[in-house]
Amino acid sequence: MKTVTVREFYHNAGLVDGLPEGKQLVVTSNGKPKFIVTKGARPRMTRELAAKLAVSGGKGEFDGTAFLKSLKK
């Protein structure tokens, strides 16, 4: 667990990018912890996740042409 001041954290956002996955960064102000930053795992895109995030919401095919025509009305 690494500790930095609020000023360091504000001026060097790359500190979070340099954290290994699952490690914590404690941000302090006046020697007291203010908040903790934890770097999480990057989500992997799967077919199920892509279908859920799609415009159609995973409910079959999405007809983009029909959607654009409905906007013109």
Same domain, 47 and 34: no
Same domain, 21 and 7: yes
Residues near 51 by beta carbon (within 8 Å), at least 6 away in sequence: 58
Q: Which domain holds residue 62?
A: 43-73
pLDDT at residue 26 tops 90: yes
Q: How many domains does the chain have?
A: 2
Q: How confident is the model at residue 11 (pLDDT cuts 50, 70, 90)?
A: very high
Range with the lowest mean pLDDT among 12-16, 23-27, 52-56, 64-68? 52-56
User: Which is nearest to 60 in space by CA: 51, 49, 71?
Assistant: 51
Q: How far is Cα 26 from Cα 1, in angstroms, rounded to an integer?
A: 7
Tell me the whole-structure pTM to 2 decimals. 0.55
Same domain, 21 and 47: no
Same domain, 31 and 52: no
